[in-house]
Amino acid sequence: MPYPYVLLSAAVSLDGCLDDTGPERLLLSSPADFDRVDEVRASVDAILIGAGTIRADNPRLLVNSPERRAARTAEGRPAYPLKVTVTATGDLDPAANFWHTGGEKLVYTTDKGAERASRVLGRTADVVSLGPGLDWRALLAHLYDVRGVRRLMVEGGGTVHTQLLQQGLADELQLVLAPLFVGDPAAPRLFGPGAYQGGRLRLIETRRIEDVVLMRYEPTAPGAGPVAAADHHWLRTACDLAALCPPSGTAFSVGAVVVAADGTELARGHSREGGDPVVHAEEAALAKIDPADPRLPGATVYSSLEPCSRRASRPAPCAELILRAGVGRVVTAWREPDTFVAAADGSGVLLTAGVDVVLLPEHEGRAKAPNAHLLP
């Protein structure tokens, strides 16, 4: 199910604190970085914070620049992004700035919390119950399907950031490091304890902004069952590889990437790679990995087109090669049409053998692009 692109944004001190808990609140960002945050806010469809952050910081969460608000309205968007908060209990202060500035407001809560939030807020905000407990996947799906949110900026607090990262739902982390030490043991930290992805995140940008440093990261670890944000990155990579295939009128152009559970890329390949006119993408990628590599059982194969179940050019189709390699998970963008093989069902072969197969149809157009000449 599609979710919005989820961007986590935070500023921390050198000792990892979010802010100072003393009577004089310590601002970690510089004026230039506050302007950068304003620019990011203007680019998104919604901004989300936890109810605890509303109570602790009483933020307004506005796009402050009149020029940026004007640009949004010129594009046919509201001047301010949708403001979203999450609360399990419905414990919300109706006098908080959050409710009386900016545009529309939305509260996600539980069945129990919805009764209290609706009573306290009245018509100030829309209240949506997620059931007996908070379910981040249901929340993101509702934002995407019902509210049309495609880019979501999450500004805190630490509990919200922790849960989204641990559940593999964050597409990007924007972290600003301030040259300050808070030194207060009671000051809140950005992330809490728990299980995070095992490998290293991918650093995609560093930027000096006055005396602070912006670092942007992407998660790399594949999901385990439910879709993780990193799955979209790797599947896009596979689709981009398909564009490298030598053109053919008798075979699809396909790209594939094999990724270990900790986010390490093990190999990649594409159709007709290396001058071999009949090699398939998954075949090319798997051939580059030692069959005894202990990471293979926990790996994910990303393929722009579902692995083939039958082929004439080689004894073993790609679905069979994946099973022989012991890979337990496959993510693909596009089910194979009947263009060359009728009723192809590589996904069914893999599923029957116990492989977890995930289809992300939102990438289908990208997978089809280098094959447009083969499609009706």
Are the CB atoms for 197 and 169 separated by under 8 Å? Answer: no
Backbone conformation region of residue 59, classed left if phi is above 0, alpha if psi is from -120 to 50, else beta: beta
pLDDT band at 21 (very low <50, low <70, confident <90, very high): very low
Residues 112 and 107: their CA atoms lie apart, in Å, by 13
Between 344 and 44, name the one with better pLDDT. Answer: 44
Is residue 325 scored above 90 in pLDDT?
A: yes
Distance of CA 81 to the CA centre of its chain: 19
Residues 32 and 201: their CA atoms lie apart, in Å, by 26
Is residue 172 scored above 90 in pLDDT?
A: yes
State the average pLDDT over residues 10-33: 77
Q: Count CB atoms within 10 A of the CB of residue 1.
A: 12
pLDDT of residue 312: 82
pLDDT band at 22 (very low <50, low <70, confident <90, very high): very low
Convert the pLDDT of each residue in 261-318 to its tens digit.
999 999 999 999 999 999 999 999 999 999 999 999 999 999 999 999 998 888 899 9
Written as six digits, the tokens of 277 are 């006119």
Are the CB atoms for 281 and 255 separated by under 8 Å? Answer: yes
Q: Which residues are CB-neighbours of 34 under 8 A, at least 6 positions away?
A: none
What are the DSSP E strand ranges found in 237-345?
255-259, 265-270, 300-303, 329-332
> Which percentage of the chain shows pLDDT scores above 90?
82
pLDDT of residue 19: 65
| 59, containing H or E segment | none
Residues 249 and 8: their CA atoms lie apart, in Å, by 44
Residues 137 and 3: their CA atoms lie apart, in Å, by 8
Residues 219 and 239: their CA atoms lie apart, in Å, by 19
State the average pLDDT over residues 340-362: 93
Q: Is 365 exposed, middle or buried (0-12, 13-18, 19+ CB in 10 A)?
A: exposed
pLDDT of residue 341: 85
Are the CB atoms for 46 and 63 separated by under 8 Å? Answer: no
Residue type, 81: P
Phi, psi of 40 (to 5 degrees): -65, -45
pLDDT of residue 224: 74
Are the CB atoms for 22 and 187 separated by under 8 Å? Answer: no
pLDDT of residue 25: 60
Residues 218 and 201: their CA atoms lie apart, in Å, by 6
Residues 364 and 362: their CA atoms lie apart, in Å, by 6
HEC-encoded secondary structure of 180-195: CCCCCCCCCECCCCCC
Convert the pLDDT of each residue in 239-260 to its tens digit.
999 999 999 999 999 999 999 9
Residues 60 and 359: their CA atoms lie apart, in Å, by 39
Cα dist from 111 to 22, 46, 104, 117, 252, whole Å: 35, 23, 22, 10, 49
State the average pLDDT over residues 160-185: 93
Q: Count CB atoms within 10 A of the CB of residue 199.
A: 16
pLDDT of residue 176: 96
Residues 173 and 101: their CA atoms lie apart, in Å, by 26
